[in-house]
Amino acid sequence: MAASRLSGATVWLMAFDCRFSSVIFYSCMYTSIALMGLISLDRFFKIVRPCGKALGQSVTFSVVTSSLVWLVLFAGTAIPTMILTDESPVNVTSQNCMSLKSPTAMALHSYVVLSMELLFWIVSILIVSCYVCITMKVLQSFRNSGSNNSQGRKRTKLRVFFILLVFFVCFVPLHIVRIPSTIHQLLHIHSCMDSWVKIGHKFCLWLSSTNACLDPLLYIYLCREYRDKLVDMLKARGICVGLFSDEKEEDSQ
């Protein structure tokens, strides 16, 4: 994606980005968002509404559900977009990806953009609701047990805060900016704000891509099993892991 936006990029490289790279990027991003919503829902049922070994808490059900999310989003949005973005780049003068789409592809693009925008805001509400309920439930359990573990309460709040912070920093700006950007693109509206909309969209797009770097850090901070396996793997390769070891000792106390 980045290479296609360089000044010396060829027309065919830009076409490849429009047909494949950008499509796969957006498909993976929305799949990740949908899975984050399912993870928050799973944690909600495990902590707030525990009901034993329910179907939704089995490994098999989780694997099947995750696979279905990937299949539905990729087959329903990415593959049709790749197929219908079939205009030849040598016959167009615009560097806009919309110039490579037929009328049918533009109609599909409108449907996909609006559907994914709706999906994002639904998942956002779901995630916020689930984690607020989880936090209240955990804090309530502290109060019911008569525990004075203020450090535990603070850590619980911080963990929920970091999850929501990463989600909103990475994805909310992009979806706010995409509203005017999509309107300009689909309705062919041109104004003096076009350049600012494009710059804002590119910056927010870069911001959303940082989620791929922030997620592993979240896993290290939030998931003890993940952190322990990472520490063991690094130790096996002779890499210093003093920082992770200190965190491991803190969790065991």
Q: What pLDDT, on the 0 to 100 scale, is given for residue 194?
A: 63
What is the tens place of the pLDDT at every residue in 120-165?
999 999 999 988 888 888 878 777 776 666 676 677 777 777 888 8
Q: Mean of the per-residue pLDDT values for the chain?
A: 77
Highest mean pLDDT among 55-59, 157-161, 236-240: 157-161
pLDDT beyond 70 at 106: yes
> In this predicted structure, what is the pLDDT of residue 206?
85
pLDDT band at residue 199 under the 50/70/90 scheme: confident
- Predicted confidence at residue 60, as pLDDT, reads 81
- Whether residue 69 is predicted with pLDDT greater than 90 in this model: the reply is yes
Distance CA 70, CA 65 (A): 9
Q: Which residues contact 100 (CB under 8 A, 6 or more apart)?
A: 15, 18, 19, 85, 86, 87, 89, 92
* Residues listed for the chain: 253
- pLDDT, tens only, 13-47: 788 888 888 889 899 889 989 988 888 888 888 88
CA proximity to 206, closest of 44, 5, 45, 35:
5
